[in-house]
């Protein structure tokens, strides 16, 4: 993939840092906008870059089919994406082994495969308890709490741990003075704290410490009386 002069500083920083030679494999479609400083507003005006700075935006779509997207663009069904693609580069990227989202995103983030970053699947198995757990992070509840009805009030802080290993690409950039904004990045909870601006994405637990609770609404509540819905609740 060729680069524009606006990316010379970024590419040079990666090369000087002797970033891992293995190209990241992704189960997604990437859209890159090079030299896009014109017409881009900064939501953090206090941290605005200098006037001559070049900026690059990378949009990643998890599981997006490149062939279908290209067909829809040619059919005129995705005019906005077509305009963005014509501004920079639009291409498909190979997937990871195994081809699963948390593995592919971890490859992209670190430049490592599963043997390096430690993410092999959506779920891993605890060898001691033989129970599954989320592969990308571990959340531990508060050590003490009180129960009020169906609510549990924590009396101390819990803890969260990012289970993905390896140096992130934005750490490399930041170490060479290149500011980064990492928005809704999967497999990055809790946020690493090494980017200028950082918001976690897929893999972020909800306020209950879970990864989503399903709801079953039924007109036959007696049919489900006394039954538990695994990972969800039943409502008449």
Q: Residue 18 above 80 pLDDT?
A: no
Give the domain range for residue 181: 5-124+163-205
Residue from 59, 134, 64, 66 nearest 102 by CA: 134
- Of 9, 36, 28, 52, give the one whose Cα is nearest residue 201: 28
Could you tell me if residue 225 is inside a domain?
Answer: no
Number of domain units in the chain = 1
With respect to residue 67, please indicate whether it lies within any of the assigned structural domains. yes
Predicted TM-score of the model (pTM): 0.68
Q: Is residue 26 part of a domain?
A: yes
| pLDDT value for 2 | 36
For residues 208-232, average pLDDT: 79
pLDDT score recorded for residue 1: 39
In a domain, residue 212? The reply is no
| Residue 51: inside a domain | yes
Check pLDDT > 60 for residue 10: no
Helices assigned H by DSSP within the chain: 8-16, 66-74, 79-87, 101-110, 114-117, 169-175
> Beta strands 214-217 and 232-235: pairing type?
parallel
Does the pLDDT at position 29 exceed 70? no
pLDDT per position as a tens digit, 82-136: 998 888 888 887 889 999 999 999 999 999 999 999 999 999 998 898 888 889 9
pLDDT digits (tens, 9 = 90+) for 142-180: 888 898 888 888 888 888 899 999 999 999 999 999 999
Q: Which residue has the tokens 């893999």?
A: 203
According to the model, what pLDDT value does residue 4 have?
39
- Mean pLDDT, to the nearest integer, of 19-24? 38
Residues 50-77 have pLDDT tens digits of 666 778 888 888 888 889 999 999 999 9
Question: What confidence tier does 33 reach under pLDDT thresholds 50, 70, 90?
Answer: low
Residue 145 lies in a domain: no
Q: What is the mean pLDDT of residues 29-35?
A: 52
Strands (E) across the chain are located at: 28-33, 57-62, 89-92, 123-125, 132-134, 137-140, 145-148, 151-154, 159-162, 181-185, 197-200, 214-217, 232-235
In-domain check, residue 41? yes
For residue 180, is it within any domain?
Answer: yes
- Highest-scoring range by mean pLDDT, 31-35, 194-198, 214-218: 194-198
């Amino acid at each position: 993939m060729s680069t524009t002069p606006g990316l010379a500083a970024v590419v040079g920083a990666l090369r000087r840092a002797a970033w891992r030679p293995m190209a990241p494999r992704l189960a997604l479609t990437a859209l890159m906008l090079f030299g896009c400083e014109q017409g881009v507003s900064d939501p953090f005006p206090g941290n605005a870059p200098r006037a001559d700075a070049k900026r690059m935006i990378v949009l990643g779509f998890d599981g997006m089919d490149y062939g279908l997207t290209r067909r829809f663009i040619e059919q005129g069904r995705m005019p906005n994406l077509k305009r963005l693609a014509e501004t920079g580069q639009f291409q498909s990227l190979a997937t990871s082994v195994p081809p699963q989202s948390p593995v592919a995103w971890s490859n992209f983030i670190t430049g490592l495969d599963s043997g390096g970053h430690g993410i092999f699947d959506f779920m891993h198995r605890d060898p001691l308890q033989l129970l599954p757990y989320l592969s990308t992070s571990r959340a531990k509840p508060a050590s003490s709490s009180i129960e009020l009805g169906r609510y549990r009030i924590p009396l101390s802080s819990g803890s969260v741990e990012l289970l993905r290993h390896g140096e992130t690409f934005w750490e490399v950039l930041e170490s060479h003075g290149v500011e980064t904004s990492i928005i809704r990045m999967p497999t990055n909870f809790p946020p690493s704290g090494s980017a200028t601006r950082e918001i976690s994405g897929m893999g972020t637990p909800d306020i209950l410490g879970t990864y989503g609770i399903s709801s079953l609404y039924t007109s036959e509540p007696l049919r489900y009386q006394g039954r538990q819905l695994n990972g969800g609740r039943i409502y008449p």
